[in-house]
Amino acid sequence: DLEARSRHLRQTDSPSIEQPEPDISSVSSPRFLLSAHKKFLSPSPSRPKQKQPWLLYERPFARYLFLFTVSILGFCQNYCYDSTTGVVDDLVKDMDISYTQFQTLYSVFTIPDFFFALLSGLLMEKLGTRVFSNIAAGLVCVGSTSIATAALLRNYPFMAFGKLLFGVSVNAVCLTQYVFNEKWFKGKELAFALGLTSSIASLGTVTSLTTMMPIRNLFGTYKAGLWLGAGATYLAFFGNLIVCSLDRTAERNETSKSRRTPPIL
């Protein structure tokens, strides 16, 4: 009796509840399988990479490399320009000229420089900044080599011609430097770029005036310093080629961006 009563109570306390069978059709549907594939089998999305600026003008490394190269141009050219001033006593004595004739070497291009500066601007507009800068930098090399050769030959008129060619060409290169800096730093750090270029160019003058005499004492002749200044202009010429290459690449990059960007209507 006790077993029958306990069995009866157990059946009344926990009635059996029938569980519905799961709907397998919804699980096996193509939409469910596609969502499961995207959720579990597809690779996890990677972190989006930071986009690099389109224009080469906007990349800091390219901008400062360009600025450094342009500044080195002014340094090398000013180093050669003032190389004769650092050894003026030896040059006057060796070439048998007066100090007035020596000062004439620096003033020989000041009068025609007004016309050459205007002509340089017109030629730059006609030929382009890069082509004109290469021509001017090449003429600087010719002028510096003429100065060193004239000292070697003790030929005063030839040295005056070299100073004339060198001075006019240097001013033309300075003009192209301003144009390049304005193009690369327009609206952002332009004053800093112009100030740095001018400061490093002035540093070339100081370096030339302080190193010409030690070089003369080291090699036993002042002409070694003049040839070293001429070599600096060739270094500036190769630096100008780098500047033109960077500017050409940046211009092509800007052109490719303008082609990919749809016009705004």
* pLDDT tens for each residue of the chain, 265 residues long: 556 666 655 555 545 444 455 555 554 555 544 555 455 445 545 544 444 444 566 677 888 888 888 988 889 989 998 888 888 999 999 999 998 899 888 888 776 777 787 888 888 888 888 999 999 999 999 999 999 999 999 999 999 999 989 988 888 888 888 888 888 887 778 888 888 898 999 999 999 999 999 999 999 999 999 999 999 999 999 999 998 988 888 888 766 655 555 444 3
Residue 21 is predicted with a pLDDT of 52
Report residue 194 as tokens: 């112009």
CA distances from 170 to 64, 67, 108, 216, 222 (A): 23, 18, 14, 25, 23
Residue 121 is predicted with a pLDDT of 85
Residue 263 is predicted with a pLDDT of 44
pTM assigned to the model:
0.72
Residue 116 is predicted with a pLDDT of 81
Rounded CA separation 51/39 (Å): 28
How many CB atoms sit inside 10 A of residue 2's CB? Answer: 6
Rounded CA separation 265/246 (Å): 33
How are the residues of the chain apportioned to helix, strand and coil, as percentages rounded to the nearest 5?
Answer: 80, 0, 20
Residue 27 is predicted with a pLDDT of 47
Rounded CA separation 86/198 (Å): 21
Rounded CA separation 114/91 (Å): 29
Residue 29 is predicted with a pLDDT of 52
